[in-house]
Amino acid sequence: MSFRDNLQHLRSTRNMTQEQLAVMVGVSRQSVTKWEAEKAYPEMDKLLKICQIFDCTLDELVQGDLTQRQAEEALAVPADSLASDVIGYGEHCHDYAKRLACGVTACILGMAVGATMSDWLGDGPATLGFFFCVGIGLLLIIPAALEDGAFKKAHPYVADFYTSEQRIQAKRAFGLRLVAGIGCILGGLSFGAFADQIGLMGPIMGLFFVAIAVGVGLIVYASILDSRMDIETYNISALEELSEEEIASIVGEERAPKVLDKVRASKRASAACGIIMLAATAIALPLMFWATTSGNTFWTQFFWIPWMVGGLLCGIASIVIEGSAK
């Protein structure tokens, strides 16, 4: 019995369309069509994923006879399943957003701990407190980033399942979180000005950094949750890890040239942003330590300006580079 016959029958036992299977495997519907027309053959990772979906072995799927398997009504896919999240994309995005936002918040809180402890316990404990918070932040950020990369590799193609109502609700939530984040940052800036006036630099600067940390965390969380609604951008980003042949097999030969142009532009934009933010970090961190040791009040409060400028430059670079591919 052929792989095509087995696959067609297994789909029928679950009441599953080609498009529904494509979503679960992480390919385009055209790819499944080619498999069943014997015009193409899935790669090993896709075969293993199909085995997981239909609970069979690789030998059974490729060389065995599964056409006698009975229909599995309990595991049948609802007809409207494409309108729901069948691969856990939304849950993954929420988890990634929370962990990344908490990690960034923890790193900035390290500055609050350092500023407060410096006055009370001295520079040594303050430095330890700072690096402790940064360590917690990195323990949240690095695993989250690695898991996000693994998810994209496992699901390089996601069919758009969000409704118009869900998009409207997401935009409202994004606006509220963004306003709250900006409000926290502005509140932090007022704390910084207050500290300069009354001379309680340590405790008030601690409140300044706490407010900044919460504000930045809210903005990061809001931005990631808002970006999850752009499924096309996710697909382009996920496809960056694949070869051009793999991309063509997923999106289909007709769409491949246009998609490949977007993937190449996305890679260039990512590289440019990486260089920009590395340069911003190389400026901001020495500036922060110089301002702290020299007692420069202005740059102690505004050492983060290079990162803000870097973020703006990244946005401009992304618009210019990725816009050229549209």
Is 215 found in the same domain as 174?
yes
Q: Which of 8-12, 143-147, 311-315 has the lowest mean pLDDT?
A: 311-315
Q: Identify whether residues 186 and 323 lie together within a single domain.
A: no
The C-alpha torsion from 268 through 271 and 273 to 275, rounded to 10°, is -140
pTM above 0.85, yes or no: no
Convert the pLDDT of each residue in 120-138 to its tens digit.
666 667 778 778 888 999 9
Contacts of 266 (CB under 8 A, 6+ apart): 236, 237, 240, 322
- Do residues 195 and 229 share a domain? yes
State whether the Cα torsion 103-282-237-48 is positive or negative: negative
Instruction: Using pLDDT thresholds of 50, 70 and 90, give the confidence band for residue 117.
Output: low
Establish if 83 belongs to a structural domain.
no
Domain count, the chain: 3
Residues 25, 31, 34: CA angle, nearest 5 degrees: 130
225-281: pLDDT as tens digits: 998 888 888 878 777 777 777 677 666 667 778 878 888 888 888 888 889 888 888
Task: Please tell me whether residues 216 and 314 are part of one structural domain.
Answer: no
The percent of residues in the chain predicted with pLDDT above 70, rounded, is: 81
Is the domain of 114 the same as that of 174? yes
The verdict on residue 114 lying in a domain is: yes
Q: Do 290 and 219 share a domain, yes or no?
A: no
User: Which is nearest to 106 in space by CA: 135, 127, 81?
Assistant: 135
DSSP 14: T
- 1 CB-near residues (< 8 Å, 6+ apart): 63, 64, 65, 66, 67
Same domain, 225 and 262: no
| Rg of the chain taking only CA atoms, in angstroms | 25
Domain that holds residue 221: 89-242
Same domain, 39 and 15: yes
Residue 220 CA to residue 167 CA, distance in Å, equals 18
Q: What CA–CA distances, in Å, run from 41 to 5, 34, 115?
A: 13, 8, 60
**What pLDDT digit, counting tens, does each position of 21-43 carry?**
887 787 777 778 888 888 888 88
Indicate whether 80 belongs to any domain. no
Same domain for 173 and 309?
no
Q: Is 247 inside a domain boundary? A: no
Q: Are residues 231 and 289 in the same domain?
A: no
For residue 40, is it within any domain? yes
Q: Is residue 71 part of a domain?
A: no
User: 157 and 93, same structural domain?
Assistant: yes
Task: Please indicate, yes or no, whether residues 236 and 298 belong to a single structural domain of this protein.
Answer: no
Indicate whether 164 belongs to any domain: yes
How many residues in total does the chain contain?
Answer: 326
Of 61, 80, 101, the domain-final residue: 61
User: Has residue 67 been placed in a domain?
Assistant: no
* Percentage above 90 pLDDT, the chain: 14
Confidence of residue 79 (pLDDT cuts 50, 70, 90): low
61 touches 3 (CB < 8 A): yes
CATH number of the domain to which 12 belongs = 1.10.260.40
As a dihedral over the C-alpha atoms of residue 144, residue 148, residue 154, residue 159, rounded to 10 degrees, the angle is 140
